[in-house]
């Protein structure tokens, strides 16, 4: 098909493909992610093959018309993968997914076979045709565009309906992106119908109705732009959410440092893994480092709790104020011997239990103690007595 392809579309698809390839490298067994990556890669390849230079290059090393068939086959395969991606999101419907897989792959294979046959039976000098060809009345050429655009119509409408379905279940920001993308997909479906109408108009009167084609391409441009806005918005919100979460955990990681440093010095065997020098400046594994530090602090407090009960007998260690618990921890660390008797039994006590039973509340409880501990050490260092 003759479709308007612009550099922003290709660039965004390349960025999306690289982004999801990195995710796939971390989770290679994720079927949903594999389908999405396949979709992005094929759509990207289809975009690249749509450029006249790429199509002509393929024709030069093969035969005239091969580039056109290759572009359509690859791009249609990308749309097929998009449809399957939406269907694979349906939890607990594996039988339905298998039916959709068989139907969509068979439909794609049939359409590509028809397009290939249409090019083969077209005389060699005419195989480089476009929608503006004066030979649209030839059955093989008309068939190529009618069958191809019929598939595009099916793929765009099906993808749009799936996007609408998931927009109703998604969060507010993701739903807005999906609704916007669905609107653009419906617009592209309309332009597919327009191209089919254009084929019939050119069969009846070759060279006429050029204004109709111009308007249809304009609608296609706007529709593709709307799809890109929807995709960009959803991806942008996802990226911003990820960065905000990463920076939040990075800040909490740093705020836990004073308490963690003191406890890790007392119980070095509890440190799960030493980080290479300079690794703390990388954001890539911020979440992992934060959760690891939180666990190490909590494990060390359990080990230290018998000494806390000795320095503060009768105190509410589970619900005490952060500054008070920080003082108790300092005293307990001084009381703890450098080498503990492995045969001595210790009774652990709950320390700094949060009001809510979740990781965020637990982290905030320990951060308050850590900041109070750091403040107490600074005040002690400033007092020469």
pLDDT tier for residue 281 given thresholds of 50, 70 and 90: very low
Compute the distance between CA of residue 103 and CA of residue 84 in angstroms, rounded to an integer.
Answer: 10
> Which pLDDT does position 383 carry in this prediction?
57
Task: Please give the structure tokens belonging to residue 122.
Answer: 């077209």
Predicted confidence (pLDDT) per residue in 203-222, tens digit? 877 766 778 878 887 888 88
What is the DSSP code string of 43-105?
HHHHHHHHSHHHHHHHHHHS-TTHHHHHHHHHHHHHHHHHHHHHHHTSTT-HHHHHHHHHHHH
Q: Picking from 106-120, 175-189, 370-384, which range would have the lowest pLDDT averaged per residue?
A: 370-384
Q: What is the end-to-end Cα distance of the chain in Å, rounded?
A: 85
Q: Which residues of 89-121 are buried (b: 16+ CB within 10 A; e: fewer)?
A: beeeeeeeeeebbeebeebbeebbebbbebbee
Averaged pLDDT of the chain: 85
Give yes or no for residue 51 having a pLDDT over 70: yes
pLDDT of residue 142: 93
């Amino acid at each position: 098909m003759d479709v308007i392809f612009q550099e922003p579309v290709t660039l965004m698809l390349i960025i999306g493909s690289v982004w999801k390839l990195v995710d796939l490298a971390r989770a290679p067994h994720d079927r949903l992610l594999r389908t999405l990556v396949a979709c992005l890669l094929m759509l990207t390849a289809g975009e690249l093959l749509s450029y006249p230079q790429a199509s002509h290059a393929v024709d030069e090393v093969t035969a005239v018309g091969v580039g056109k068939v290759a572009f359509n086959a690859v791009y249609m395969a990308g749309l097929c993968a998009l449809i399957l991606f939406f269907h694979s999101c349906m939890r607990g419907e594996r039988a339905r997914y298998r039916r959709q897989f068989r139907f969509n792959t068979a439909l794609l294979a049939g359409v590509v076979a028809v397009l290939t046959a249409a090019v083969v039976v077209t005389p060699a000098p005419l195989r480089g045709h476009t929608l503006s060809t004066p030979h649209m009345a030839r059955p093989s050429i008309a068939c190529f565009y009618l069958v191809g655009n019929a598939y595009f119509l099916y793929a765009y409408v099906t993808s749009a309906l799936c996007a609408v379905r998931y927009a109703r279940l998604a969060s507010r920001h993701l739903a807005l992106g999906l609704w916007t993308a669905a609107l653009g997909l419906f617009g592209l479906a309309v332009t597919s119908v327009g191209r089919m109408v254009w084929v019939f108009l050119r069969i009846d009167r070759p060279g006429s109705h050029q204004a109709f084609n111009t308007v249809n391409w304009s609608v296609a441009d706007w529709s593709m732009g709307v799809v890109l806005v929807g995709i960009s918005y959803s991806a942008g919100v996802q990226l911003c959410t990820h960065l905000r979460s990463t920076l939040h955990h990075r800040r909490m990681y740093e705020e836990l440092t004073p308490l963690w440093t003191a406890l890790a010095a007392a119980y070095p065997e509890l440190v799960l893994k030493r980080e290479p020098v300079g690794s703390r400046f990388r954001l890539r594994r911020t979440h992992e480092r934060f959760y690891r530090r939180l666990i190490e602090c909590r494990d060390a407090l359990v080990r230290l709790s018998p000494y806390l009960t000795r320095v503060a007998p009768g105190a509410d260690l589970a619900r005490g104020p952060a500054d008070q618990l920080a003082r108790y921890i300092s005293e307990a660390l001084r009381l703890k011997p450098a080498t503990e008797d492995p045969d001595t039994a210790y009774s652990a006590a709950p320390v700094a239990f949060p009001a809510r039973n979740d990781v965020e509340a637990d982290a905030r409880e320990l951060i308050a103690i850590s900041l109070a501990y750091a403040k107490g050490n600074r005040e002690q260092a400033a007092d020469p007595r």
